[in-house]
Amino acid sequence: MTLVQPANDGDAWLTDLIGSVHLTPKGEDVALLLTKNPRAAAFMPASQLAKELGVNTATVVRFAQLLGFSGWKEFQLHFRHRYLARVLPSEMARERPAEHWNTPFEAVLHHDIENVQAALSTVDRSVLADVVRTLDGARKTLVISSGSYSAVGHILVHKMNVMGYDARLETRGGIHTITALSTMTEEDCLVAVSFLRLVRHVVVGSKEAQRQGITTVAITDSVFSPLARAATYTLMVPTESISWFQSLTAAVSVVNGLASELHAFGGERVDEAIKRVETLYGDFDVLYERDQR
């Protein structure tokens, strides 16, 4: 599969952000470090960065706030995303700071907990409400993804189907994505799921749907992601891991939350659809009962 490589514009996104504000001389020092030593800036706490520059921690925090973020931690999340997008998966584990947990297993689980906690602030509740209304009102929903990221899409589609919504998942790319898009209208919704090193057909599919006037939803891990820019609505969820792969734990949690909101929004209509599926489970005798020998 073909990956969307970071654009050859270096740190143009950061240059544009900085160019839109007036920095103090100390703020310019922070900006210079970001461009000269992106690896350190991607992982360094605000207090440590301030110490390196000989400024107050408040200076680093104000720099991030001036660029439109709640603070250094939020800015750094997106800055680190841009930095890691240029790193090959085989190199990624070496780029991350060492974890203090005894085993990789413990480190991964603790980091996943942090990602889920972070998702409480990265997912905009007003955007989530818009996505719920869009999915509920859509004639049909197409979810496009690829690789392990498809697990997130599969869970969303399965839950939507059980709740009575017409949703399908397409992961194969190429002609399969093209033909799926060709049957969509402005009454439909496209959900694109991809993270960090984006898969090309997911981004191109979202752009094409948007061009056709189809409402698009991105589930991705940075507001600076090309996928976010190609979407009507973006649910931003952290996917960082301590290893070479992205963690999907927070993304699955967000999809579970989205499905729960959709259930509440749909009310009795959704309840009836779930009951019909429950009846069919019994008719088809698909479950293994505990008292069976």
Regarding whether 139 and 57 lie in a shared domain, the answer is: no
Q: Between 274 and 229, where is the model more confident?
A: 274
Regarding whether 129 and 66 lie in a shared domain, the answer is: no
- Pick the closest to residue 168 from 19, 176, 160, 11 (CA basis): 160
Regarding whether 261 and 190 lie in a shared domain, the answer is: yes
State which of 86, 110, 137 marks the end of a domain. Answer: 86
Structural domain of residue 70, as residue ranges?
12-86
Regarding whether 47 and 138 lie in a shared domain, the answer is: no
Tally of domains within the chain? 2
The CATH number linked to 70 is: 1.10.10.10
The CATH number linked to 146 is: 3.40.50.10490
pLDDT surpassing 70 at residue 272: yes
Regarding whether 135 and 59 lie in a shared domain, the answer is: no
Regarding whether 125 and 56 lie in a shared domain, the answer is: no
Regarding whether 166 and 256 lie in a shared domain, the answer is: yes
State which of 68, 86, 104 marks the end of a domain. Answer: 86
pTM exceeds 0.85, yes or no: no
In a domain, 129, yes or no: yes
Q: Categorize the per-residue pLDDT at 102 as very low, low, confident or very high, splitting at 50, 70 and 90.
A: confident
In a domain, 100, yes or no: no
- pLDDT above 70 as % of the chain: 90
How far, in Å, are 99, 107, 112, 158, 243 from residue 102 at the CA level? 8, 8, 16, 37, 15
d(C-alpha 38, C-alpha 32), whole Å:
10
In a domain, 66, yes or no: yes
Give the model confidence (pLDDT) of 161-215 as tens digits.
Answer: 999 999 999 999 999 999 999 999 999 999 999 998 889 999 999 999 999 999 9
Please tell me what DSSP assigns to residue 22. -
Q: Categorize the per-residue pLDDT at 11 as very low, low, confident or very high, splitting at 50, 70 and 90.
A: low
d(C-alpha 59, C-alpha 146), whole Å:
41
Regarding whether 133 and 262 lie in a shared domain, the answer is: yes
Regarding whether 128 and 77 lie in a shared domain, the answer is: no
In a domain, 139, yes or no: yes
